[in-house]
Copies of this chain bind each other. A is one copy, B any other.
Amino acid sequence: MPPAARPARVDAVRNRASLLAAAEAEFAERGIDASVADIAHRAGVAKGTVFRHFATKDDLVAAVAGDRLARLVAVARRLSESPDSGVALREFLSAAAEILQQQGLAFLRAASECNPVVAEIRDQLLASAGVLVDRARRDGIVRADVTGADVLLLTCATVHTVAAMSDPTPDLWRRYLAIVIDGLRPEGASPLPGPAPERL
């Protein structure tokens, strides 16, 4: 084991937290193109301080994305204990939409593409979503030919597209998530073309 590194200074801890909060807000507002300088300014520190805590901008993106994904995995695991598999799936998709709000798939892809830690959390999310979908499918609540990756992608799609509108209505994603969920019901469903994706 390493020789017990000295604990971080309190100001450093505080600045790191400010940076993460500022980055989360800035990425939500401007997407992955938000500049490091703007994030630093919002956090009330100089630009150099950002790179003391996160070696590259990608590392900062990964920290924010990993945090969000981990929160969502926790929700999925809790819901997989729920007795009603249909309600559990619907609640999971609402939670996914809210937690991934605005960041969109492109953000998460950029984060996980070259960062094994985020990629690992993403795979856990994929597995957790799969559990929820499988359970709902066994109970005859969703059609037989959809997977966890399918519902996650569709949820990302609704959230991101609403966020990309000229003046986004805050809750419009609920409308489209409802249509998507209705599209998952088994009665009268036409068979889906092509295979489901294996990754996001």
Interface residues of A (CB under 8 A from B): 104-106, 109, 113, 146, 150, 153-154, 156-158, 160-162, 164-167, 169, 171-172, 174-176, 178-185, 187-190, 192-194, 196-197, 199-200
How many copies of this chain? 2
Tell which of B167, B188, B200 touches A185, judged by Cβ atoms closer than 8 Å. Answer: B188
B174 near A194 with CB under 8 A, answer yes
Partner of A179, one of B105, B146, B162, B169: B146
Sorted from nearest, which 7 A-B pairs have the closest CB atoms? A183-B183, A157-B161, A157-B157, A179-B183, A182-B183, A106-B164, A105-B164
| Contact in complex: A153, B161 (CB < 8 Å) | yes
> Are B189 and A182 touching (Cβ within 8 A)?
yes
Residue in B109, B165, B179 whose CB lies within 8 Å of A197: B165
CB proximity of A65 to chain B, nearest CB, Å:
14
